[in-house]
Amino acid sequence: MENPIIELRGLTKCYGSVKAVDDLNLNIQKGEIFGLLGPNGAGKTTTILMMLGLTDPTSGTAHVCGYNATTSPIPVKRKIGYMPDSLGFYDGMTALENLIYIGELNGISDSEIKDRARNVMRMVGLENEIDKKTSTYSRGMKQRLGLADVLIKQPDVLILDEPTLGIDPSGVKEFLGLIRRLSRQQGLTVLLSSHHLHHVQQVCDRVGIFVKGKLLVEGNMDTLSKNLFEEKAFEVSVLLRNSLALPWEYESEFLQLNGIKQVAVDGQQIAVTSSHDNTPEIVKFFVLKGYEVVGVQRKEHALDDIYQKYFEKSLNL
């Protein structure tokens, strides 16, 4: 495997007696979209600040694109596009003027700046609004302009802190879709910090759950779900056209099917728990017994189930 683009080793930050970040070890690969998830005060922002070289760790290291963020903060800042949770633009200036200003601050040459500005505005779908004053922009448009603002310096890594705050549901969907497209098309690595579980679930390849400075767990949705819900790894719900009469005559025969652990009958609805995914065998059983199957649904554990469960576990530590 390639070297990770972000590599955190034993990263720790203490503020007096408060351990804001506690021995964090994490690798993020190029092109990944990683979600940093946790309640208020979990240590997300402190971790980001250490990755940006804006605050020094008490111990441990943060490397970004091979540079140590503490000892080489300038190259690290060149590589990272950081979008904070509250964005500020010069309201009296147009989007283009704002971008030119940011481009100048980032040392982009005059000859290149306008082309890059138009290009990033096209990438975020604001090409027709480039000459409008940012005071006329909606919250969702400002968020996309914020993205253009960090893309203009052509970073390798995007760090987005609560990027969906205050945007309406359709704006959120659009924005997350844009992040995913950009990451896939340009090989951009994205670190997204958020409280919004289902936003993280929609867009991230992998998620880390943070509580009280500690990374409790990280992995993709499937791994997290399997580790937690091992006992009930697969739950399938079958809907029949007609209700089953109880006691169900085939219950003991059904329980003999390989992997079936439990079955609960409620009228037309049959809930089955199995040790592995045997949905086809379950459906075949009902069909062969002459029942009309009108629906089958496999329960996927959503990130909020997973998060809640880990969060409960952490409270009991």
- Contact letters for ligand ATP, residues 14-33 (x by CB under 6 A): -x--x-x-------------
- 42-61: contacts with ligand ATP (CB under 6 A): 42-46
146 binds ligand ATP (CB under 6 A): no
For the CB of residue 213, give the shortest distance to ligand ATP in the complex, in Å.
7
255 binds ligand ATP (CB under 6 A): no
Please work out the total of residues on this chain that contact ligand ATP, with binding judged by CB under 6 A: 11
Of residues 1, 2, 17, 40, which one binds ligand ATP by CB under 6 A? 40
For the CB of residue 193, give the shortest distance to ligand ATP in the complex, in Å.
7
Of residues 4, 38, 53, 155, which one binds ligand ATP by CB under 6 A? 38
Dist CA 197 CA 211 (whole Å)? 14
Distance of alpha carbon 95 from the chain centroid: 28
The span of 38-46, 73-81, 248-256, 268-276 binding ligand ATP (CB under 6 A) equals 38-46
CB atoms within 10 A of CB 201: 18
Nearer to ligand ATP, 37 or 123 (CB): 37
Please report the sign of the dihedral spanned by the C-alpha atoms of residue 194, residue 196, residue 197, residue 198. Answer: negative
Exposed (0-12), middle (13-18) or buried (19+): which is 229, by Cβ within 10 Å? middle
Exposed (0-12), middle (13-18) or buried (19+): which is 52, by Cβ within 10 Å? middle
For the CB of residue 43, give the shortest distance to ligand ATP in the complex, in Å.
4
Q: Helix axis angle, 139-151 relative to 110-123, nearest 10°?
A: 140
- Residue 10 parent element (H or E): strand 6-15
The span of 34-42, 118-126, 133-141, 246-254 binding ligand ATP (CB under 6 A) equals 34-42
Nearest one of 204, 226, 228, 205 to 216, comparing CA atoms: 228
171 binds ligand ATP (CB under 6 A): no
Nearer to ligand ATP, 15 or 90 (CB): 15
Percent helix / strand / coil, the chain, rounded to 5: 40, 30, 35
Q: For binding to ligand ATP (CB under 6 A), which residues are involved?
A: 15, 18, 20, 38, 40-46
